[in-house]
Structure formats: structure tokens, C-alpha cells
A and B are shown apart, each in its own frame.
Chain A
Amino acid sequence: MSKERNKGLSLLGLATAFVLVASACSNGKAGGSDTGTAGTGGAKQEAPLKVSIMTTYYTPEPPGPDNVIVKEFEKRTNTDLDITWVSSNNYRDKLSVTLASGDIPDLVLLDDPFNAQVRTMVAQGAFWDITDVRKDYPNLMKFPDATWNNQKQRDGKNYGVPRVRPVEGGSGFIIREDWLKKLNLPVPQTTEDLYTALKAFKEKNPDGLKPTEVVPFAGATASDHLNNFIHLQNVFTGTHWHWKAINNELVRVDLLPEVREFIVYMKRLYDEKLIPSDFAVLKGSQVSDMVKGGKAGVYENIVENSWEPTEILRKTNPDATFLPLVSLNGFASKDNGSFGMFAIPKKVSEEKMKKLIALLDYGASEEGSDLANYGFEGVHHTVENGIKVSTEQAKKDIVAQQALGQIFLKYDKYLRAWRAGIPNDLYERNKKIIDMREKISVPDPSTGLYSETNLKKGGELDKKIFDLKVKVIMGVKSLEDWDQFVKELKANPDLIKITEELNEAYKARNSKAKG
């Protein structure tokens, strides 16, 4: 009996031994890699400020810890940067786990400062309020007021440093200027002009493409929003995105007759094959392939993007030029001036918080921003006619706005006029377009407004509206169905509640702005 017991015990030992062996050998390995990363920090004379950052990147690879520019940045600011690079594709997932686990880096990029999780955490006091602190930092104060105002949370305070972007030069139409010239067409000013141009591109293609080969207006929808066509809808509604302020009262644009006109217009484009017949399932990269392949006449993008396909097409067709339109029907969109913000968790001391903001302030300075985005002159870029041209070494060392520039970037009104390799004449042209847009552009009146119902039900509602729009455009449903739907939508309790809540927030903000 006791012998049996003994055997039993030894078996139990066997079972646990496996678990122990496995974990022991793994701990050894993990320890090894830990010391590896600690070693790169190195010993310096003064104690550099340790800063952990989490951010996103758009280069094929993120800069490594011993990237020359990161090292130089550390040297100039006396910091020890520990940057967690997360691919933009997975940023949301990673961010929500990081926030939920409570293990928040010193500087964390909140790419959407208004999502539910961030709002809750802000309300709980998880991040530093920097509304008053920022005034001491000259470079941050150069950010446009719109940028700061659009990021204010529900209580009217700023809880992070904006990842600043220009307010002008955002989404708009980009058209083949050389085609217009060859067909003796004026640059479109209205949606009817645009239609005429699209029709002409298809029927009398100046590059000799067959009507079936041309994609007069290349665009795609995403799975749950209009994506490339939202700007066209904006042109019709005269507002940016879903809400329009009419007599100081926010109204969902889909209830307006303008959206119906937009659908009718889109349906005409669709029926006459002026947009891809598979626009509802196309991918963004396929649209970009059409544009770069010289098949597209018009597409939607930011101003600077006009250079990329131009550069490619000019290799075979020296005349090819893409021209960003200033406006259509007198409308241009104004962006909210930022792409998320860097927040600082409350567990960081006040003293360190100020140092972190100083670091971002340096990054927003001429010197810091140039270093992060362009690297060393002569190595990573050369200056030609006052324009910085990146070299091959810059690609090798991953020096780009798409990498470290995601953290450190100064405010530049003409950021969206310039792209690597752009000739001076086009750069100046783009700058003029941005200046002209500035005079007329219209912002999204609902930016940053809080509506709890919208957080819960808004997405579902948006998707429903979007689905029906696409169906009507494709002729699966009729316009009468749309009219019926709008009637129901007007009585939809969720939408009524969202509208009420948004209007309340809208008025509160407006009165604060005046006072």
C-alpha cells in the first residue's frame, strides 16, 4: 500500500517537474533578453530622463532602439527614450489593452481622444490636465487654436499634446489636369462641371484608352463608411462629415434633401459607369493602383498626394499632372488640426510631466522637428532650392515623418503641399491651393462633442444609413426606399437622443468659447 502511495507521489512529481522545467528554462531566456535591452541604455555622466513612449508608425519597419536619429535626439534632450512602436494596423487593440492594464507609458498616443475608453479614463482623472501648463511652451503655442480647441474634452480642458496636423489641405478631389487641357475643358467648379469632365474622360479619353478601360472617378467605400465618396457628400451638404449646423442647431445631414441629391448624383455616376461598378468592394490599394496606372481621371485625397501618381505617370507620359481642386460648389473641408494626442498618465510626477512636455515642445521646434523628420543634412537629406530632399540613407536609417515624425513634428501650415521629390512649381501651386482653401473651408461642427448614446448606438446607425445609400446607388433599392427610410430615421429614438445630446454639448461649447 505504502509502496503504491510512493509511486503515486513520484508520478505527481513527474507531472509537476515538466511544468517546472519548462518555466525554468524559459525564465533563463527571458532574463537574457532583458539584460540585452537594458544594456543599450548605456551609462552617461548625467542621469538622462527615462521616457517611455508608445506610438504608431507607417514605415515598413519602425526605427530600432539604436537608430542614429533616436540616439541624437536622446543626446540633445538628455533623455533615454524607450519607444514602443506599434503598427498602425493594430494600434487600437494594443492601446486598449495597455490602457486597461494600467501599465501606461509616460507618453501615450491616443489616436482617438474621443473614444469611450479614453473619455472614461479622462473622467476618472487618469491623465494630466495640461490646459494651463502648455502656455509656458512657445513651440506648442504655435499650434493653431483650432487644433487645441478641437481636442478639448467634455470639461473644456486639454489632456494631451496634439499630434498636430494642418487644418487645410485635407480631403478633396484631384483631377488629371493634362486630360482637361487636351479636351479643352475648364477646371471643374461645380458638381455638374465634374460630371461633364468625367463623361468626357470616359468617352473621349485623351490618352487613347478605351471607354471600358478608363475609370473616370476612382474611389472605394470602406466596409462601414463612404470613405472616398464622403467628400462628394460633403460637397453636397456643405458641411464636413455627419452633422451640419443650421441656425445654431446640429442636424444629421442624412435627413436633409442634400444627401438625397448626392445619392441621385452618385447613382447617375454609377449607372453611366463613371465610378467603378465594384466600388463597394474595392480596396484602397486597388484605387491607388488605378490612379497610378493612369486609368483614373479623378480621385479623392489630400493635396500632397497629387504628386505621387504624377511622379509615376511622368516616367512614361511627361505631360501627366494631377491637380487638386480648390473647391467644388464653393465647398472645401477643414480638418480638425490633429491626429490624436500624446497624453501623460497621472502616475508620472508633476515635475516629470513638465519635462515630458518640454520634450514634446523641443520636438515641435524647428530644430527638433527637422532632426526627427529629415535627419542630418548631407547624410539623410540635401537642401535644394530650400526644399529638403531625402536621400537613400534616410530610407535605410528610417528617418521619415512616418516614423519618428509621428512623435516630433512642428506645426507647418503647408505640410500637405509638400511631398518628397515634388518639383518647385507644383509645390508652389499646392501652397496656393491651400491658401485659397483657407478662405472658404468648413470644419466638422461635431468634433469632440460628447453624446453617450452616439458612443453606444451611433456606429450601428451609421452602418445602416451607409448600407442603404450603397444599395440605392447600385439600384438594389429605390429612391422611394430611401425617402421612406429618412422618414423612419426622423422618428428614430436613438437618433433623436443623439441629436439632443450633441446639441446640448454644442451649445455648451459655443457659450464657453464666447465667454
Chain B
Amino acid sequence: MGDRVFTATNAAILILISLVAVFPLYYVFVVSFTDPSEYVRKGVVLFPEKWSLDSYRYLMSTNSFLNAMGNSLFLATVGTACSLVVTSGLSYALSRKRLGGRRTLLLLILLTTLFNPGLIPPYLLVRELGLINSTWSLILPVLSSGWYVLLMKGFFDSIPASLEEAARIDGCNDFSVWWRVILPLSLPSLAAFGLFYAVDYWNTFFSALLYINRFDKQPLQVLLQNMLIDSSISGSSEAAQMMAEQRIPGQTLKMAAVVIATVPILLVYPFLQKHFAKGAMVGSVKE
């Protein structure tokens, strides 16, 4: 009896908590599908009387949104691919004990995870490389994360050296061992780190703010911030007034933009889910 009361209360509390967590998502979703005039009239909408695709239609008709979406997709796919190649290559090489200067390399990589140079040096570097206004300025400086390299190295450490020897006897060189034997074996970790990278790239914001001046090269998050940020935040009242005047999109539009910006990355999760648990555990257990 006591057990059942406990289970019931437990369930009730948990359901409540999950509702609280889900509600903002639900609200964003519903508002995005609400008729804009109804939203203005009511202010708060839980169950719209009139569903409408107007906001989505409008967003899809604007060049800037589609353009920013394309930029972000490019970042998330190409960036992730580049990052995975570099990260896995580097960490595989580091996991092989015969690599000369391995300790020094590892130490250098470890240093990058501990010390942050701040804002100005990367900016100057990117500028000197001539990457200002180039999408690559958002990929190259973050091509590989020291932390992920160390994690992945842990994964490769667990692959027995005899496997590599066997491949070598069959005529593989270092590169083909990595490409044809090691990589296929490490799909789970690739999936997990790929997801990490993809989310990072998809959420690229601050670096884009600094390195990208041209409107047509902005990723989605910068555009979203421009759309969503409230005029009241900017201290100047003139700025606020101008924003208010200048067709800053209505609430439904903003919500639609949020939905579109969230969905792609949400969609990736379920497909990588099965690799995810396995991959994230990588390197966490020492034998």
C-alpha cells in the first residue's frame, strides 16, 4: 500500500517536472502555428483557434532566413566532417606508442584545454590569415578540440595493437590502416563526437559575430539573435524605437524561426542515439 502511494506520488511529481520542462517547447511550437492576428489579440495562446502556416510561409519566402540556414547546414556538415577527420587522425596517431614526440604533442594539446587566449589573439590570427568574412573562419580555429582528441585517443588506446599488425601484414600502410581498419571499427565514437561537433557548429554564434561582417554569410544563430533579441535590452531608447518601427517580426514569426532552427539538430539525435551511449562512455573506464 505504502509502496503504491509512493510510486503514485513519485510519478505525479515526475510528470509535473517533465511538464514544466516540456511546456516552453510546446508554447514555442504552438505560437509558431498560431494566426499572427490572434496572437496579438490574446497575448497568450495555449490552444489556438486558428492554426496558420503564415509565419512559416513568410520565413521561407525571405532570402535571409534560407541563406542563413544554408550557411549553418554547411557549417554543420562540412565542419563536422573536417573536424572528425582531423580529430580521429590526430588521436589515432597519438594513441600509437611509436609516434616520436608523442609526449610533447600530448602536453601541447593538454595545454590548449587548460588555457584560453581570450578574444583578441584569435581575432588577429583570423584577420592575418585573411579569413574575415569567410565561412572557414568559423571552422578552422575550432577544427579540433583538445578535449575531444584526448577522449578519442582513449578510445583508440583500447584497440589492440595486434589488429594493426595483422593489417600491416596484409599490406596496409599507416594511412590505410587508419582509413580501412581503424575508422570502420570506431563508428560509435565517430557518431558521438560527430554529434558533439555538429551541435557546436550548428550553434556557432559568437565567433560569427566577430569574424563575419557580411550579412549573406551569417549563420542561423546570428540571424536568430537579431530577430529575437528584444529592443528593450539595448540601452539606447532610440535604438529601441527604431527596432520597434523596423518591422521586427511578430512573436509568431520569432517562434517559427526558433522551431525551424531547432528541428534539424533535434532530428539528428534519434539517429545517433544508439551510438551515443556507447560512444560517450569511451575512455571512461580504465582496464
Contact = CB atoms under 8 A, between A and B. Distances in A.
B215 A62 contact: yes
B124 interface: yes
Contacts of B279: none
A283 B139 CA distance: 35
B89 A289 contact: no
B215 A18 contact: no
B41 interface: yes
Interface string A62-99: 10100000000000000000001111111001100100
A171 B232 CA distance: 14
Given A23-B140, A26-B136, A62-B215, A308 B82 contact: no
B225 interface: yes
Interface string B220-237: 001001100111111111
Given A9-B100, A23-B140, A223-B233, A101 B90 contact: no
Given A60-B247, A285-B230, A7 B40 contact: no
Contact of B134 (A17, A33, A85, A302): A33
B99 to A, nearest CB: 5
A58 interface: yes
A402 interface: yes
Contacts of B134: 26, 29-30, 33-34
Given A61-B64, A285-B230, A30 B131 contact: yes
B36 to A, nearest CB: 11
A293 interface: yes
Interface string B116-147: 00011001100101110111100110010000
Classify the secondary structure of A's interface with B: helix
A402 B43 CA distance: 28
Interface residues of B, number: 67
A283 B232 contact: yes
Nearest to A18: B89
A11 B215 contact: no
A320 interface: no
B4 to A, nearest CB: 41
B280 interface: no
A225 interface: yes
A125 interface: no
Interface in A14-42: 14-15, 17-19, 22-23, 26-27, 29-31, 33-34, 37
B99 A15 contact: yes
B244 A34 contact: no
A58 B239 contact: yes
Contacts of B225: 89-90
Interface in B73-90: 82, 85-86, 89-90
A307 to B, nearest CB: 10
A305 interface: yes
A60 B246 contact: yes
A15 B210 contact: no
Given A15-B93, A26-B136, A225 B235 contact: yes
B287 interface: no
A97 B206 CA distance: 12
A59 B215 CA distance: 12
Interface string B242-265: 111111100100000000000000
A111 B238 CA distance: 11
A123 interface: no
29 contacts: A7-B98, A9-B100, A11-B99, A17-B89, A18-B86, A19-B90, A29-B134, A30-B129, A31-B130, A33-B133, A58-B239, A58-B245, A58-B246, A60-B62, A60-B246, A62-B215, A88-B234, A89-B233, A97-B119, A101-B127, A111-B236, A284-B232, A284-B240, A289-B43, A289-B251, A292-B40, A293-B40, A305-B241, A305-B244
Q: For the complex of A and B, list the 4 residue pairs with the smallest distance between their C-beta atoms, beginning with the closest.
A: A284-B232, A15-B93, A26-B136, A18-B89
